[in-house]
Chains A and B, each alone.
Chain A
Amino acid sequence: MLQSLTRSAAAGKLRAVGLMTSIVAATFAVASTATADTDFPTKPITVIVPYGAGGGTDTTGRFLAKEAEKHLSQPIAVINRSGASGTVGTAEAAAAKADGYTLYFGASDALVTTPHSLKVPYTVDHFRGIVGVSYAPSSIAVRTDSPWETLDDLLAEAGTDTVVDRGHSGVGGVHHTLLKSLFLETGIKFRDIPFQGGSKTIAALRGDHVDLIGGTPGAMVPSIEAGETRVLAVSSEERLPGFPDVPTFKEKGIDIVATVEWYLLAPKDTPDDVVAVLEEAFLKAASSDEFKAFTVTRKQESLVRNAEEIMVKLKGDSEFFGGIINQ
């Protein structure tokens, strides 16, 4: 279902591009023969991953590239430009030649939240979308022995003297931003304890070193199964299939939607016809069953977005996170 939806969206985009650029546009509507129409690609494509080899984003990017190679006439090389929490690779991708041969595969933090808190030579506007492949919402969780059974119990602490020790995976990240906006909105007192990464945060919660954490719900599944933690609410638009009983913030009347997205982008001046070719190939790759199954192992929710959709999402996210971070 989702697959066919994104396919038709992709075809629509291709049509628009075709009308503008050449008179053979009609053929686009019938069959996707974009590759036959332009020379691109004539040499190998490089995908910059701004994190080290072997991590979550890197393995996802590599799997996507492997799938996309089946639909392109040229090989795709994934290179890791790690350093400074992903900003080094992102800056390099933003400044790369906009010919479609250098692409960028990343996750929200480096591109969407970091430019609001640190001085980096790029923003979301330095890129244009190709495809969004998956996302993971944030959530808040407590230990099972916590007095807060539901989100309402926690919200009832507003105005009391209770100080919540809240943990998260790092300053300025998506999970931190979620907690910040939740506590700002409700006025609950807190102590803020950042850890380096989600796993350490979860261990700190399980070991009774903090009261509440913000983190990816998928990463908490093992400790939920062990009966040690409880997720109070998730920050996605709708309830997650893996957590049917956990409410979203939205349905509890708190207007917070915060997700980490994984996506493939190109420098902003990359020509339309080149992007069209890439979009078609990568949409196919991202929609394949193999790739979707893979993203599940990486604790991501599968959601394929086309070139336009992912940019709308990114710009909206950037505005949202910027608003909270600058408060």
Chain B
Amino acid sequence: MIENILYAISVVFIWQNLMLIVIGTAIGMVFGSLPGLTVTLAVTLVLPFTFDLPPESGIVLLTGVYCAGTYAGSISAILINTPGTPSSAATAWDGYPLTRKGRSFEALSVALHASVLGGLISAVALIFFAPMLAKTALAFGPPERFALTFFGLTIIARVSGKSLSKGFVAALFGLLIATVGVDPILGVPRFSFNTFYLYGGVGMIEVFIGIFAIAEIFNQIGKRSEQGKVAKDASQKSSIRWLDIIPHYWTIIKSSIIGIVIGVIPGTGGSIASFIAYDEAKRASKEPDLFGKGSLEGIAAAESANNGVTAATLIPTLTLGIPGNTVAAIFLGALLIHGLTPGPQLFVNQGGLMYTIMFSFIMANIVMYFQGRVALKWFDRIVNIPDGILLPIILTMCLIGAYTISNSLNSVIVALIFGVVGYGMIKFEYPTAPMVIALILGAMVEESMRQSLILSDGSAMIFVTRPIALLFFVMTVFVTFSPMVMSLWRSKRGAQEQDDQKSVG
């Protein structure tokens, strides 16, 4: 292991390779932050250029693009309410409200710091624990995966905002959308309305573009007569130092660990990690009511978790060949071309390359931090552009972005339909967060549950006889019912304290 680490250091710290990291992170940041350009596209476009480089340099460059591109999804999530990836959906919940309050720069800064910290914690942890974690990942079969994704679904109850029933309606709608497409077990089309375009289901990024960005554009246009431009909050700090992040340090560490643990589980991806971290931060927060309306803590949790995943998800991607998301899939494809063979022997046979990836990851995070500090001031000026000019530009980019997903108008139509749906949800005050969680997790919950029940011949006992699955179900019950039990217990302690408790809980 030591010689592999030394080898990795000797590769990453050659000045040519350091330059490649700087270039890679810059490309990743630009592609990740612009709606319509995605990090997936960035890795795909950079890939041919790496054919002529030595394998190590190619990997270093691609790692930079991958790492910065994943982070930069938060920039568009915060500034224009368009998460570039499913994992930054949770960032938009708090980031965009802060932008509307004129505190976009603070939101951006916290996201940058949290991302860098999350990425670093995850990369360092992985250097020491990766070979071990690779083995445990295999223990996750269908029942365990069901237990985890089901746990993720219960978060819906806590992000529903004012009305729990409206939250459930939105969640059920999300689950309904998730069932569209060819049934994963039986292979028959569901809700495809005789158009084979829907056989593959409704594209998630198209829905995000619609429900977040396009709906918000409609909403802004609708409000135009009532509300003028957003004024920058004069009290917001013009530069953020590490000191300002200290209140959130515990949230960031906790969220990074959640990101690492969930990132290692094959095929779950970053989104569920950022939801769980967000939920946990809200549960532990002193100001849970602020979540969803502009909480810096919420951004810190979501971003550190999702960047914790970025490095951790490389473990199942590289040792099992199971990428956690589309970007990791493209990244994996790129590594294959550079001669890296995913498999259980990766750390034994190609340990040098593995640690090169991990060290490139650390360097990419550090470079990203400095680039981010410079770039954020420029990105932040987007908010100064008058709505009359900005909104049409964003709408155009959203539609182009939707088109480039599959290079067809079908995706644009889906985005527009969900733009209208999303506008309706804003107007009738249905929260979009439950719907997004349900949509992302729905397919995973369904598939793993049905796989488990096939294995057990229809008996639900399979979920409680397996220790890891049982653990997650116990956590689900605990997290769901503990607030109720706690408040019941407290209310018994006397009517005098009861009033105080209500205002807190």
Which A residues fall within an 8 A CB radius of B?
A: 52-56, 59, 62, 79-85, 87-88, 91-92, 117-121, 165, 170-172, 191-200, 202-204, 206-210, 219, 221-223, 225-226, 228, 294, 297-298
Question: Which residue of B266, B345, B407, B411 contacts A79 across the interface (Cβ within 8 Å)?
Answer: B407
Chain B residues with CB under 8 A of A204: 141-142
Question: Which residue of B44, B187, B330, B345 contacts A171 across the interface (Cβ within 8 Å)?
Answer: B187
What mask results when residues 308 to 339 of chain B are scored 1 for a CB within 8 Å of chain A, else 0? 00000000100011100010011001101101
Who on chain B is nearest to A87 by CB?
B196
Query: Counting CB contacts under 8 A, is B299 at the interface?
Result: no
Which B residues fall within an 8 A CB radius of A?
A: 40-41, 43-44, 47-48, 137-142, 181-187, 189, 194, 196-200, 203, 266-267, 316, 320-322, 326, 329-330, 333-334, 336-337, 339, 341-346, 405-408, 410-411, 447, 451, 454-455, 457
- Bound complex: CA A197 to CA B323 (Å): 11
The main secondary structure of chain A at its interface with chain B is mixed
Q: Contact at A207–B141, with CB atoms within 8 Å?
A: yes
Given known pairs A81-B407, A84-B200, A194-B185, the reply for A54 and B329 (CB within 8 Å) is: yes
Q: Contact at A53–B40, with CB atoms within 8 Å?
A: yes
- Bound complex: CA A87 to CA B343 (Å): 30
Given known pairs A203-B320, A204-B141, A207-B140, the reply for A54 and B334 (CB within 8 Å) is: yes
Q: Contact at A80–B187, with CB atoms within 8 Å?
A: no
- Bound complex: CA A57 to CA B397 (Å): 28
Who on chain B is nearest to A83 by CB?
B406
Given known pairs A118-B199, A199-B322, A202-B320, the reply for A172 and B410 (CB within 8 Å) is: no
Chain B residues with CB under 8 A of A84: 181-182, 196-200
- Bound complex: CA A297 to CA B332 (Å): 12
Chain B residues with CB under 8 A of A210: 455
Chain B residues with CB under 8 A of A121: 196
- Bound complex: CA A203 to CA B343 (Å): 10
Q: Contact at B345–A222, with CB atoms within 8 Å?
A: yes
- Bound complex: CA A223 to CA B47 (Å): 27
Who on chain B is nearest to A173 by CB?
B187
- Bound complex: CA A297 to CA B140 (Å): 28
Q: Contact at A225–B345, with CB atoms within 8 Å?
A: yes
15 additional contacts (CB under 8 A) given A118-B182, A203-B138, A206-B138:
A53-B40, A54-B334, A83-B197, A83-B203, A83-B410, A84-B198, A118-B189, A118-B199, A119-B196, A171-B187, A193-B455, A203-B320, A203-B321, A206-B344, A222-B341
- Bound complex: CA A207 to CA B346 (Å): 17
Could you tell me the distance in whole angstroms from the C-beta of A22 to the nearest C-beta in chain B? Answer: 38
Could you tell me the distance in whole angstroms from the C-beta of B142 to the nearest C-beta in chain A? Answer: 6
Could you tell me the distance in whole angstroms from the C-beta of B19 to the nearest C-beta in chain A? Answer: 24
Chain A residues with CB under 8 A of B141: 204, 207-209
Given known pairs A81-B407, A193-B451, A226-B345, the reply for A199 and B196 (CB within 8 Å) is: no
Pairs across A and B, CB under 8 Å, 18 listed: A54-B333, A55-B333, A62-B48, A79-B407, A81-B406, A82-B406, A84-B182, A87-B196, A87-B200, A88-B408, A92-B408, A194-B187, A194-B451, A204-B141, A209-B455, A221-B341, A223-B343, A226-B344
Q: Contact at A87–B199, with CB atoms within 8 Å?
A: yes
Q: Contact at A53–B44, with CB atoms within 8 Å?
A: yes
Q: Contact at A55–B187, with CB atoms within 8 Å?
A: no
Chain A residues with CB under 8 A of B405: 82
Q: Contact at A91–B196, with CB atoms within 8 Å?
A: yes
Q: Contact at B196–A52, with CB atoms within 8 Å?
A: no
Question: Which residue of A88, A171, A199 contacts B406 across the interface (Cβ within 8 Å)?
Answer: A88
Interface centre among B48, B316, B320 (most CB of A within 10 A): B320
Q: Contact at B197–A222, with CB atoms within 8 Å?
A: no
Chain A residues with CB under 8 A of B197: 83-84, 88
Could you tell me the distance in whole angstroms from the C-beta of B415 to the nearest C-beta in chain A? Answer: 14
Could you tell me the distance in whole angstroms from the C-beta of B107 to the nearest C-beta in chain A? Answer: 31
Chain A residues with CB under 8 A of B330: 53-55
Chain A residues with CB under 8 A of B43: 54
Chain B residues with CB under 8 A of A221: 341, 343
Could you tell me the distance in whole angstroms from the C-beta of B483 to the nearest C-beta in chain A? Answer: 35
Q: Contact at A222–B266, with CB atoms within 8 Å?
A: no
Q: Contact at B336–A226, with CB atoms within 8 Å?
A: no
Could you tell me the distance in whole angstroms from the C-beta of A70 to the nearest C-beta in chain B? Answer: 15
Given known pairs A80-B406, A207-B140, the reply for A199 and B184 (CB within 8 Å) is: no
Chain B residues with CB under 8 A of A170: 184, 187
Who on chain B is nearest to A176 by CB?
B187
- Bound complex: CA A120 to CA B195 (Å): 9
- Bound complex: CA A221 to CA B199 (Å): 32
Chain B residues with CB under 8 A of A208: 141
Q: Contact at A83–B200, with CB atoms within 8 Å?
A: yes
Could you tell me the distance in whole angstroms from the C-beta of B364 to the nearest C-beta in chain A? Answer: 19
- Bound complex: CA A172 to CA B173 (Å): 29
Q: Contact at B187–A117, with CB atoms within 8 Å?
A: yes
- Bound complex: CA A85 to CA B147 (Å): 28
Chain A residues with CB under 8 A of B139: 207
Chain A residues with CB under 8 A of B333: 54-56, 59
Q: Contact at B329–A55, with CB atoms within 8 Å?
A: yes
Q: Contact at A81–B44, with CB atoms within 8 Å?
A: no
Given known pairs A118-B199, A221-B343, the reply for A192 and B454 (CB within 8 Å) is: yes
